[in-house]
Amino acid sequence: MRTEAAFEKSAEDGHEKAYLRIDNLWKNFGEFIALKDITMSVMEGEFICFLGPSGCGKTTLLRAIAGLDLQATGTIEQAGKDISNLPPAERDFGIVFQSYALFPNLTIEKNVAFGLENTGLAKPAITARVKELLELVGLPDQGKKYPAQLSGGQQQRIALARAIATSPGLLLLDEPLSALDAKVRVHLRHEVKELQRKLGITTVMVTHDQEEALSMADRIVVMNHGVIEQIGTPTDIYREPETLFVADFIGEMNQIAANYTPADGEEKPIVTIGNKSFVCAGAAGLRAGPVIAAIRPEDIIPHREDVGPLITEPENCLTLRIDEMEFLGSFWRTRLSGAELGEVELIADFSINAVRRLSMETGKQQVIEIPSNRLKVFAAKKGAA
């Protein structure tokens, strides 16, 4: 098994050697452009997630890979072979849908065996393979039942078994877990990931659930309005969002109207929020002027005082009033404001320990530090100030 880093590296310089290559793909439905010039690649054995809000084109892209919806222009290559306009039956993939799409009148066994028939396999071989698959998905005793007699999670596992029965080179999962209830969904995430790891099968999954994508994918393709916003490992995507959309869509983020001064020689890049200037991570190519500053609530560090050994960047420290505290189980969510920030209200998440240690309370003043490498700036949205 490769590591995330390995994938990242190989994907960067390995477009040529990728298992699945998509180049300059466009797709329109009449006037509406669903996919705009998509170029990306998937390495062999990799687990890729297409993540984005509904209507972003992620399912369209998956269906183009499967040959179910033909792209307008652009090429798709799988295992070095151009499959751009091949009918689905001549491509090499297995697919699982949100609706499971199990044949309701066939037993579980027959469902799983469906793709194995007429492939030259002898009957006993098929039976053996079905048994093996059912064991693989953890449902060895359910073969004689009909789909309607199984729970949703069980049905989806059968759909998975059916999809991998013929050992396809590529596994496509179209929102496979969306129809399940929360607990089953979390459970199944791990199982699917585990299975994929065990089989080493190149997998593309479509989801709108960021947690699912973060926990399962080797790399995530974030999409919006038919374009790819960012491709990267889950930690990259989370920690280093390249666009405001990614920053906003994945995890939570304080977004604050601010003023930006780029780095100049020795001077570090500065972002001014209200009357307070912070050293920030900076952004290449961004000019001085109004920007959006962004910081995740959990990246804000609380301190007992505004001086002390724990503080690394005193210039990024300030004292704010705790306006509101909300207990969310594993942490406290607080709303902070202060004269220095003007109108701006910051949301910060503090651990239970920190709250207890620093005896935080609504109405009290609290010193915080905003680490400069976690403070991002993005070009201001058009029309907003």
Residues that bind another protein (CB under 8 A): 24, 26, 28, 33, 36-40, 66-68, 70-74, 84-91, 93-95, 97, 99, 101, 103-106, 114-115, 117-119, 146-149, 162-163, 165-166, 168, 172, 227-231, 242-243
Taking the complex as a whole, the smallest distance from the CB of residue 215 to another protein amounts, in Å, to 23
Residue ranges of E strands in the chain: 20-29, 32-42, 47-51, 73-78, 81-82, 93-97, 170-174, 202-207, 219-224, 227-232, 254-261, 270-273, 276-279, 289-295, 301-303, 317-327, 331-337, 345-351, 365-369, 376-379
**Shorter beta-carbon distance to another protein: residue 27 or 276:** 27
Taking the complex as a whole, the smallest distance from the CB of residue 384 to another protein amounts, in Å, to 19
Taking the complex as a whole, the smallest distance from the CB of residue 125 to another protein amounts, in Å, to 16
**Shorter beta-carbon distance to another protein: residue 3 or 99:** 99
**Shorter beta-carbon distance to another protein: residue 87 or 342:** 87
Nearest to 297 by CA among 342, 251, 352, 234: 251
Taking the complex as a whole, the smallest distance from the CB of residue 96 to another protein amounts, in Å, to 9
DSSP secondary structure, 9-40, as one string: HHHHH-GGG-SEEEEEEEEEETTEEEEEEEEE
Alpha-carbon gap, residue 154 to 59, rounded angstroms: 23
**Shorter beta-carbon distance to another protein: residue 102 or 322:** 102
Alpha-carbon gap, residue 287 to 100, rounded angstroms: 50
Taking the complex as a whole, the smallest distance from the CB of residue 15 to another protein amounts, in Å, to 10
Structure tokens at 385: 């100030």
**Shorter beta-carbon distance to another protein: residue 20 or 300:** 20
Q: Decide: 97 and 244 in contact? Cβ < 8 Å.
A: no
Alpha-carbon gap, residue 161 to 100, rounded angstroms: 11
Q: What is the largest CA-CA distance in the chain?
A: 78
**Shorter beta-carbon distance to another protein: residue 147 or 153:** 147
Taking the complex as a whole, the smallest distance from the CB of residue 315 to another protein amounts, in Å, to 31
**Shorter beta-carbon distance to another protein: residue 62 or 273:** 62
Report how far Cα 161 is from the mean position of its chain's Cα atoms: 24
Using the structure block, give the residue that is written with the tokens 């190989």: 10
Alpha-carbon gap, residue 29 to 49, rounded angstroms: 24
Taking the complex as a whole, the smallest distance from the CB of residue 114 to another protein amounts, in Å, to 6
Taking the complex as a whole, the smallest distance from the CB of residue 290 to another protein amounts, in Å, to 21
Q: How many residues does the chain have?
A: 385
Alpha-carbon gap, residue 110 to 145, rounded angstroms: 10
**Shorter beta-carbon distance to another protein: residue 242 or 323:** 242
Distances (CA, A) of 55 to 36, 123, 227: 13, 44, 11
**Shorter beta-carbon distance to another protein: residue 68 or 186:** 68
Taking the complex as a whole, the smallest distance from the CB of residue 256 to another protein amounts, in Å, to 24
φ/ψ of residue 99, rounded to 5? -85, 5
